[in-house]
């Protein structure tokens, strides 16, 4: 089945996400050591057809490349060499960690589990990939992304003003 892969690259850890076969939804797949990303992707490609890679591009608020951009550039060269026929797209990764933390809180993840940086990385990869998929779908799409205004939370699922968990 055809899959698009989202990558939140880091020297220590890299978050990986995958699309559904129709390219509508992104889901976290896992976190691998930065040095093992290509091996992981080769193994994954043995069972699934990868049609595109979407890699988070680190930018500063003023749109200049962030310090980590040189690491991502090195990784991109290796990725394109390992998978020469698969297109690689860059996606702005600003605020993905913040959105990942928010998704974990909103999803009811325990505080101790939210401290696990591997969880943040794989959710960030899903956010990066979902942003790309949403843009591909165009403005008429219903919106499947993580942006707060895209999904209405039912009143029954909201926390009361006391801040206590239900």
**pLDDT given at position 105:** 62
Query: Listing from the earlier edge strand, what are the strands of the sheet with 13-19?
Result: 26-33, 13-19, 2-8, 49-57, 88-92
Domains defined along the chain, listed by start: 2-157 (3.30.420.140)
Crossing angle of the two packed helices 117-137 and 96-106, in degrees rounded to 10: 100
Average pLDDT per block of 10 residues along the chain, 166 residues long: 93 94 92 93 95 90 79 93 94 70 65 64 88 83 45 43 48
**pTM check: above 0.85:** no
């Amino acid at each position: 089945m055809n899959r698009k892969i989202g990558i939140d690259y880091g020297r220590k850890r890299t978050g990986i996400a995958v699309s559904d076969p129709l390219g509508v939804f992104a889901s976290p797949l896992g976190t691998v050591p930065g040095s093992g990303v290509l091996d992981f992707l080769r193994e994954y490609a043995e069972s699934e057809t990868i049609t595109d890679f979407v890699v988070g591009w680190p930018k500063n608020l003023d749109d200049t490349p962030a310090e980590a951009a040189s690491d991502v550039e090195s990784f991109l060269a290796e990725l394109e060499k390992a998978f020469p026929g698969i297109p690689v797209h860059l996606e702005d990764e600003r605020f993905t960690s913040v959105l990942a933390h928010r998704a974990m809180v909103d999803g009811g993840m325990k505080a101790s589990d939210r401290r696990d940086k591997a969880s943040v990385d794989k959710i960030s990869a899903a956010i990066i990939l979902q942003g790309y998929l949403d843009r591909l779908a165009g403005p008429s799409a219903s919106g499947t992304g993580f942006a707060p205004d895209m999904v209405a939370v039912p009143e029954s699922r909201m926390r009361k003003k006391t801040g206590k968990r239900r």
